[in-house]
């Protein structure tokens, strides 16, 4: 038979306490008071724990509600983001298209290289997106999105723009000069394509009011370099023109841009003739 030593010890202590209480009533009274205080303390502690648990549950429910509300807000903003990006692109499409043409290059097989354009496009979107600012700044969200659908949207818009001009990357260079001349005429310029060997590096001469403009029209598959800028600078002097522009469909090299800026020559796409 196994005897629980702790039980025996507990019974012995209780017996001693009862005997002492009978022998010394004051001790018994004090013992009862201590027991009552112990029970009260346990009860108070238990109630406190219950209240803390209740507060914790309320806090957890509140935190869960805040979390779900935040998730809903984030989801709605993320859903709206693609539409906002399109609006940003369309708001100043000429500038975006110009950046695209100056940054995106093609190899000899027509494969496009977006290496320079993508960082510029992402920075432009970030600088102009209110939703992105709210998501990353106020809601502390790390927003990741696919930039290629945005590029596809830009290219579609560019193709739509080019279709209005009956333009093709494979059209004859002389046809491109006439396309530019016709675009000047549409915008109330008196213009003609020189199309001659003694044109002094000028493909189109256009006049409006007191303005005389000479243009080089370069239908190149790749960005246009310094030579076209040098030729139009010489052409301005020869024709005593007030303005000089180089027109090309696929952008310009950095050296061409620097030389053009130094000589106050505009470098444009044919779709921008209407802005002159």
- DSSP line for 166-214: T--TTS-HHHHHHHHHHHHHHTT-EEEE--STTSTT-SEEEEETTEEEE
Stretch 126-140: mean pLDDT: 86
**193 versus 42: which is more confidently predicted?**
193
120 falls in which pLDDT band (50, 70, 90)?
very high
* pLDDT recorded at residue 93: 87
Nearest-10 crossing angle of helices 148-163, 117-128: 100
- Write out pLDDT tens, residues 239-270: 999 999 999 988 888 899 999 999 999 999 99
Stretch 128-145: mean pLDDT: 85
* pLDDT recorded at residue 191: 92
* pLDDT recorded at residue 14: 65
With pLDDT > 70 as the criterion, what percentage of the chain qualifies? Answer: 88
- Write out pLDDT tens, residues 70-84: 888 888 888 898 999
Nearest of 147, 148, 151, 130 to residue 139 by alpha carbon: 130
Look at the alpha carbons of 124, 126, 130, 132 in this order and tell me if their dihedral is positive or negative: positive
38 falls in which pLDDT band (50, 70, 90)?
confident
208 falls in which pLDDT band (50, 70, 90)?
very high
* pLDDT recorded at residue 165: 76
Stretch 78-102: mean pLDDT: 88
* pLDDT recorded at residue 13: 63
125 falls in which pLDDT band (50, 70, 90)?
very high
Least confident of 36-50, 98-112, 175-189: 36-50
Name every residue whose Cβ is closer than 8 Å to that of residue 60 and which is 6 or more positions away in sequence.
Answer: none
* pLDDT recorded at residue 181: 92
CATH fold of 173-275: Trna Endonuclease; Chain: A, domain 1 (3.40.1350)
Mean pLDDT of the chain: 84
* pLDDT recorded at residue 198: 55
* pLDDT recorded at residue 217: 92
Question: What does the domain layout of the chain look like in residue ranges?
Answer: 67-163, 173-275
Contact in structure between 171 and 270 (CB atoms under 8 Å): no
**273 versus 53: which is more confidently predicted?**
273
| pLDDT at residue 110 is higher than 80 | no
Stretch 53-58: mean pLDDT: 81
| Neighbour count for residue 226 (Cβ, 10 Å) | 15
- Write out pLDDT tens, residues 147-205: 999 999 999 988 887 777 778 778 888 889 999 999 999 999 999 988 765 567 899 99
> Can you give the pTM of this predicted structure?
0.60
| pLDDT at residue 212 is higher than 60 | yes
* pLDDT recorded at residue 28: 66
């Amino acid at each position: 038979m196994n005897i629980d030593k702790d039980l025996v010890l507990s019974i012995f202590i209780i017996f001693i306490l009862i005997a002492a209480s009978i022998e010394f009533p004051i001790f018994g009274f004090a013992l009862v008071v201590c027991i009552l205080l112990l029970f009260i303390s346990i009860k108070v502690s238990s109630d406190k724990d219950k209240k803390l648990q209740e507060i914790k549950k309320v806090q957890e429910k509140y935190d869960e509600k805040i979390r779900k509300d935040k998730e809903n807000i984030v989801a709605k903003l993320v859903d709206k983001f693609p539409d906002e990006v399109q609006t940003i692109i369309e708001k100043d499409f000429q500038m975006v298209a110009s950046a695209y043409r100056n940054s995106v290059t093609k190899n000899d097989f027509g494969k496009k290289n977006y290496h320079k354009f993508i960082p510029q496009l992402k920075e432009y979107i970030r600088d102009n997106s209110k939703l992105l600012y709210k998501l990353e700044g106020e809601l502390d969200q790390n927003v990741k999105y696919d930039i290629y659908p945005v590029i596809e949207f830009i290219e579609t818009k560019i193709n739509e723009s080019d279709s209005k001009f009956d333009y093709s990357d494979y059209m004859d260079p002389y046809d491109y000069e006439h396309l530019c001349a016709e675009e000047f005429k549409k915008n109330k310029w008196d213009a003609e394509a020189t199309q001659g060997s003694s044109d002094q590096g000028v493909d189109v001469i256009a006049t409006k009011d007191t303005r005389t403009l000479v243009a080089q029209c370069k239908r190149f598959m790749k960005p246009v370099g310094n030579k076209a800028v040098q030729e139009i600078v010489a052409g301005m002097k020869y024709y005593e023109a007030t303005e000089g522009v180089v027109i090309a469909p696929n952008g310009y090299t950095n050296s061409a841009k620097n030389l053009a800026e130094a000589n106050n020559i505009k470098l444009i796409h044919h779709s921008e003739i209407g802005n002159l």
